Structure 1
C-alpha cells in the first residue's frame, strides 16, 4: 500500500529544554504530545493512534497511553533506534490509509544528560543480545564503530578529516540562529580538527551532543489536515531497511539508506535532484557523508568532496541540511535524533524556519534516520515530504 498523499503532518513540536533534572521521562513525553497537539489545533481526545519506541518508559505504549489518558484504537512500538520515529511516521500513514486510525500521535523523550548516559560506554555485552558472545570481547563502543566506518572511508576514497569537519561547520553555522540549540557557537575546520581526539579519526567536534528533551508529531488524514489552520505537509514517500553483518559479507562504508532511500524516492516519484532541503541523521560527521552517498545526492566515495567548502550551508550551498543545528549542535534527545530531523523538515516546508536559514520556496524535503551502528548493524528510514 502506497502512503503517497494518504496522510499529512499536522502538528510538530520540539521540547525547548536541553537538560531536565526536574522532569520525568513520562512527563517529557506528555509535554511534547501537548505541544504537537497545540501546534495542530487538536486535543488529546482527538488522538486515536499512538506510536512510541524504546525511549518510552514502562510498558511502552501501554504505559504511555494510560499516563496521557488517551483513548486509541491503534498502537505501535516499533524499535529501530534513532530511526524509529521516521518508521513510525510511515507506519502511521499506512495505518491511516488502512482505516486503523485518523489522528496518530508519535512521541520521543529522554534524559541522558541528567542521567549521565553519554552513549560512549562499551556496547554488546548484554547476555541476551545475539552478537554479544562474538563481539563484546573486542570492546566496541558507539564512537569506535563509527570511527571504523570513517577510517575505512578514508582508506578507500581518500576522504580527509577536513572534509568531515565541514559537516560540523555547516551545522554550527545553522545552530547560531536557533535560540534553543545546545551549542550556538560557530566554528571552523581548524577548530574541529583541534578538538580532542575521541576515536581516530573522529574528534570531539565530529560527535553529536548529549541532551535531554524530546519531540512529537501528529499524522492525520488529509481531510482533517485541510480543516486545520496550519500549512499542510504531505507524506509522499517512505522507506525502511535494516543493515547487518550478512554472515561476514559486509561493507562498513555502506548504510541501509541505499535501500530505504531508493524505496522512498520510487514511492514519491522524485529524485535526489528534486529535494530542496534535507535533514540527515548526524550522530557523527561521517554518518552524514555515508547517507548522502547512499541516498544518491552524490556518487559513492564522493561524499567528502560534496560536503566541503560549505556545500551544506543554507543560502550558499547546493543542499541545505539540518538548519536547526542537527544532532551535532542543537539536540539529540535520548541519544536518538530521528524525531528532530522530521520536525525541522516540517518547519522548512511550512516556511517557519529561522529567516537566516529558511530555504526559499521549499517544496520538497527529505528526512533520513539511522539507528544503531553505521559499520555493523542498524535500521535506516527515509521520509519524503511535500508542501501542499
Structure 2
C-alpha cells in the first residue's frame, strides 16, 4: 500500500458534556487538531470520511461544507466499531487510484443519556422490533450471555476479565484524554455492582462525548516525515450469517489475509488496540487474530501478557477506561496505535515498529456482524 497516517488526534472526551455541545462541534475539533498536528489546513484536504450516530439530520457533505472542505472524495460509514477500518480501507484505495491525496477520517458523537437511549432503542430493525419491546435497553444482556458462554468454553472466571480491565486502567493513568484514570484494583472490580450477570460495572464501556480523527496521505507527499504506514487493511461482513455463538468474530475470516499482506506476525506486534466494548470481546479478538493460539491456557495468557503489559494492549486505556464516544469507539484504537507509532504518546509511549488495530461491531440479531483488521508500521 502507498498511503500512511500522518497525524492522529482526539477531541476531549467528557462524561457529561455541556448541553450546548453538538456533534459537528466535537468532530470539527478532532479534525482541527489532526490537521494542526499534520501541519495542514482544510484547503489541503481533498478527501473526507465520517462515522457518527448523532450527526443527523446532517450528512457527510453537510459537515464537510461547514468545515470548509472542497473535496474530490467523500464517504459516510455507519458500521460503528468497524467503521475506522472500513473507512481506512476505502481511503487508501482512493489515494492509490488518484481520487484523493490527503484524506481526513473522523468519527464522533454527543452521547449523553438521552442520545444513548434513543440509539439503542432504534439501533436497527432487529433491535426495534425484537429487543426494545422486551424491554432490553442496550446490548449488555446479549453480551452477558456471550461472556457466560465464553467462561464455560475457555475455563475463565470473572477475575480473568477483571485483570484485563485493571491493566487497561493502568494504561489510562498515563493518558490525559482518558475519562477514568484513577487506580482500579481487582477487588474493586469484583465488588462492583452487577449490570447483567456476569457483567459488572467495569465490564461495560462508559458512554462519553467526543471525537477522533486521522489524516491519511499519499506516501509521495510525505518526504522524510514520520508516519504510520498502512501495510494492510482487511474486512469481514456477515461472516457467520448471524448463526454463530459469538465466540468467534469476523476477524477469524479476515486476519490471516492481513498478516499475509503485511508480512507481519503477532509475535512482531509491538502495540495493539482491539475493540473493547466488553472484556470477553478482547479475548475473542485476540484469539481470532492469533495472539492467543487455539488450545492455549487463556487465563495464563491474560496474566502473562496483558496483566504484565508484556503485550502493550489498548494503551490508551481502551474504551473501558477512556470511554466510548459513540461511533468514535471504532476510531479510538486506530488513533491510539497511530499515536504510538508517531511517537506522540507521552508518558505511555512504547517501543514499537508494528501496530495492529481490530474493529468489531454492529449487533444484528445476535452478535457483531462487522470486523476489520489494520496493520501499521512506524516509519521515520
Superposed, 1:249-288 pairs within 5 Å as 250-288=244-282
Superposed, 1:8-23 pairs within 5 Å as 8-18=4-14, 19-21=16-18, 22-23=20-21
Q: Is the 8 A contact 1:289 1:303 kept in 2?
A: no
Q: Is the 8 A contact 1:37 1:44 kept in 2?
A: yes
Between the two proteins, the alignment pairs up a number of residues equal to 374
1:183-236 C-alpha deviation (Å, 9 max, x unpaired): 111112221111011111111111112110111111000011226xx4211000
Q: How far, CA to CA, are the matches of 2:100 and 2:123 in structure 1?
A: 39
Q: Is the 8 A contact 1:239 1:259 kept in 2?
A: no
Matched, 1:383 2:374: yes
Name the SS of the counterpart of 2:261 in structure 1.
helix
Give the structure 2 partner of residue 60 of structure 1.
Answer: 59
The structural deviation recorded for 1:164 is 0.7
Give the structure 2 partner of residue 197 of structure 1.
Answer: 194
**Residue 332 of structure 1, aligned match among 324, 345, 357:** 324
Name the SS of the counterpart of 1:270 in structure 2.
coil
Q: How far, CA to CA, are the matches of 2:8 and 2:345 in structure 1?
A: 13
The structural deviation recorded for 1:318 is 2.7
Name the SS of the counterpart of 2:77 in structure 1.
coil
Q: How far, CA to CA, are the matches of 1:39 and 1:61 in structure 2?
A: 23
Give the structure 2 partner of residue 82 of structure 1.
Answer: 81
TM-score (normalised: structure 1): 0.89
Residues 130 and 331 of structure 1: CA distance in aligned 2, closer, same or farther (over 3 Å): closer
Q: Which runs of 5+ in 2 are unaligned?
A: none
Q: How far, CA to CA, are the matches of 1:120 and 1:150 in structure 2?
A: 25
Residues 180 and 59 of structure 1: CA distance in aligned 2, closer, same or farther (over 3 Å): closer
The structural deviation recorded for 1:167 is 0.8
TM-score (normalised: structure 2): 0.91
Q: How far, CA to CA, are the matches of 1:284 and 1:291 in structure 2?
A: 11
Q: How far, CA to CA, are the matches of 2:285 and 2:25 in structure 1?
A: 33
Q: Is the 8 A contact 1:122 1:139 kept in 2?
A: no
Matched, 1:145 2:142: yes
Give the structure 1 partner of residue 34 of structure 2.
Answer: 36
Q: Is the 8 A contact 2:13 2:179 kept in 1?
A: no
Q: How far, CA to CA, are the matches of 1:303 and 1:378 in structure 2?
A: 27
Residues 319 and 306 of structure 1: CA distance in aligned 2, closer, same or farther (over 3 Å): farther
Matched, 1:318 2:315: no
1:102-132 C-alpha deviation (Å, 9 max, x unpaired): 000111121113x534469865686xx2575
Residues 304 and 199 of structure 1: CA distance in aligned 2, closer, same or farther (over 3 Å): farther
**Residue 291 of structure 1, aligned match among 256, 279, 285:** 285
Q: How far, CA to CA, are the matches of 2:230 and 2:189 in structure 1?
A: 36
**Residue 226 of structure 2, aligned match among 208, 228, 231:** 231
Name the SS of the counterpart of 1:52 in structure 2.
strand
